[in-house]
Structure 1
């Protein structure tokens, strides 16, 4: 994984998560901002999938478990669409909070993926 891209993903996911959680707690329903932020997180995760496929061939192999890494990556890529689907089905303040929690979970998972890729010794 690429450190600056990981930090960008984590930063955007944390910012999107905080915005959605705060918006939900003050009573706002899902909006273009909160759903769009989840869409941006999903696009970054798709780019991460491409990076993870290309990196070993470019001389950046993982040092940890590939199975664990890919499990985190696929699971993280499923969270934003699930949160957005929930928000579009149940348009309440709590679905906005759920989107925020999904974004924060993605931030944690991306950081863990970085640790699996770079820190652990197989």
Structure 2
């Protein structure tokens, strides 16, 4: 993984999560703003999948368990679409909050992927 890209992902996920939670608690239903924030997060996660495929061939292999890393990455990539699908099926303020919680969970998962990739010794 690339540290600066990880930091970008964590910042975008955290900002998206806080935005969705604030909008939801303010009574706003899912909108282009909240769904767009999660769409941006999903684009970054898809780019992370490409980076994770290419990085070992470029001399940057993970130091931790590759299986654990990929489970985190696939799970993190599935959370934003699942949150948006839920929000579009149940258009309430709480579905916007759920999108925010999903984004915050992705922020934690991305940081954990960075730890698995760089810090652990296998």
TM over 0.5, shorter chain:
yes
Runs of 4+ with >2 A deviation: none
Kindly provide the CA deviation profile for residues 20-73 of structure 1, in whole angstroms up to 9, marking residues without a partner as x.
Answer: 001101101001010001001111000000000000000101000001000000
CA–CA separation in structure 1 for the residues paired with 2:103 and 2:32: 15
Counterpart mapping for 1:1-122 below 5 A: 1-122=1-122
Q: Aligned pairs, how many?
A: 122
CA–CA separation in structure 1 for the residues paired with 2:54 and 2:86: 33
Q: RMSD over aligned Cα, in angstroms? A: 0.3
TM-score if structure 1 supplies the norm length? 0.99
* Deviation of the 1:101 alpha carbon: 0.2
Q: Which runs of 5+ in 2 are unaligned?
A: none
TM-score if structure 2 supplies the norm length? 0.99
CA–CA separation in structure 2 for the residues paired with 1:26 and 1:32: 16
* Deviation of the 1:99 alpha carbon: 0.2
CA–CA separation in structure 2 for the residues paired with 1:36 and 1:48: 18
CA–CA separation in structure 1 for the residues paired with 2:35 and 2:94: 14
CA–CA separation in structure 2 for the residues paired with 1:27 and 1:46: 31
Q: Which runs of 5+ in 1 are unaligned?
A: none
